[in-house]
Structure 1
């Protein structure tokens, strides 16, 4: 992005704050900006620090809203999508794809990557606050002393001895520490896409658009993945509990880490950050499994199926956004 104009605390609106302007600010001005944003939106500033990811640096700002953590994602006119013609795969990626292509009758590698990623385009993205963790509107967090939790513990009795987690048939899940104390409880329920979006709106939030999700995930990285072009060659993302995909990204977001945890966007036919685990569960090949974490990944068929009457998901993960003013 080319914007280099100065941006001063108190400027209106903060939605116009660009990546370059935010990182060019003197430290004092950045602190004032963060606190002004917090004051305007009823938040608390919980962190302001220099951070880095995949060789790039950034000034990260974190906020708290009733226990939900948000990070500042500056805006601008970034180039999104991926140009598969410039992809130069590593030998192990070529070998992995060749095995998959032979088994499933797939086109040449570049053609396949092009079909499974969004097209290159320039987008207008506002500065916004984006949830650090994905949010599941199907999940209701309960306090350890909630009557439903106490009733479950009392009714289960000796069956809870030594267990770390107990699930009831009604969707109530309770976790215990080694002493048997309840440390986490939640109840899950099935909701539709429309119910999930309405639930976000009811607490003053919305989910990302597909463009905003790409920008939030890749932070402007032009590579296939937000960390580069390569991926591990002896396992699927789910097999690795550490690695660049498990690290928080440049903005400080835990995003695009597990293909089983795809996220809904404002377009109900477009999901990002995974494929529901289809490539991994189906043993499609390591490269295809990792490709689902590409920043611009698009599985059109999967998205359209989820949006159809036949589509089913036991959770609808979203990436909540607080719009800035």
Structure 2
């Protein structure tokens, strides 16, 4: 089996020795070096994290194949505390949100779907945007890199989890979705990416100008939208359309450094 055939299902089925061989081949192909391969519990089984260094930047190996992404809002059953937050904080704040939180989620979450994706290397940490977003693809291309597609970003973040967040459907009580502190949003995800961990600092562009993921620049927190909506920008399928409008609009021209991009290396 070659790297081109490395699907998520096959990657999950590999033992550590086999996963290491694939990771070594990926590192060799891009002129990098393998830093580590480690096994971590994931969705009732085990998933390996393979981290490769290239030109001083760390990348995680992201298997592809036919993957399920997006979020089924109609099937979502909010926890009691999430409903309380929405009703007593979001609705009471007079922001004009619909009585049903599902209506709001449907406006900001991508629908459930499948996508056929290649195996790639994706940067463990996002880079700060070095220039206006329209210029970033060309700058990355000069380094043999590219901007992730929206489907690739969602798959890399969720790693096959169909839950609201990459770690599950809930969020910890008494913990903020930003700054220091413990919580399921802080550690690396199943593929080893440091992703969607701070609503202020982790809004990332993709190849689609209408799809910015991983954060909202603190809009919901600063706006006092309520706990559920403060955490929602960290949801895997939350594409933050208002954040995208800000980034690509005239207001974002002087603040693009507050956004990020996660470089991708193709393995084909």
> TM-score, normalized by length of structure 1?
0.76
CA distance in 1, matches of 2:213, 2:249: 17
Q: Is 2:177 the counterpart of 1:237? A: yes
Q: Is 2:149 the counterpart of 1:122? A: no
Equivalent positions of 1:132-281 (< 5 A) are: 132-138=124-130, 191-238=131-178, 241-260=181-200, 261-281=202-222
Equivalent positions of 1:12-91 (< 5 A) are: 14-53=3-42, 56-91=45-80
CA 1:240–1:233 in structure 2 vs 1: closer, same or farther (change >3 Å)?
Answer: farther
Q: Which moved more, 1:299-308 or 1:50-59?
A: 50-59
Structure 1: which 4+ aligned runs deviate by more than 6 Å?
A: none
CA distance in 2, matches of 1:29, 1:292: 36
CA distance in 1, matches of 2:231, 2:68: 22
Q: Deviations over 1:199-229 (max 9, x none)?
A: 2111111121111000010001001011111
CA distance in 2, matches of 1:323, 1:241: 35
Q: Deviations over 1:25-80 (max 9, x none)?
A: 34443332222222221010111121235755201211100221111110011111
Structure 2 residue aligned with 1:321: 264
CA distance in 2, matches of 1:275, 1:293: 9
CA distance in 2, matches of 1:55, 1:246: 21
Structure 1 residue aligned with 2:243: 302
CA distance in 2, matches of 1:121, 1:54: 19
- Name structure 2 gaps, 5 residues minimum: none
- Name structure 1 gaps, 5 residues minimum: 1-6, 139-190
SS in 1 for 2:66: coil
Structure 1 residue 309 displacement after superposition: 3.0
1:105 equivalent among 87, 91, 96: 96
Structure 1 residue 235 displacement after superposition: 4.6
CA 1:73–1:88 in structure 2 vs 1: closer, same or farther (change >3 Å)?
Answer: same
> TM-score, normalized by length of structure 2?
0.91
Contact 1:54 1:227 in 2 (8 A): no
Contact 2:185 2:197 in 1 (8 A): yes
Structure 2 residue aligned with 1:166: none
In the alignment of these two chains, the number of paired residues is 262
SS in 1 for 2:116: coil
CA 1:38–1:223 in structure 2 vs 1: closer, same or farther (change >3 Å)?
Answer: same
Contact 2:203 2:213 in 1 (8 A): yes
Contact 1:233 1:286 in 2 (8 A): no
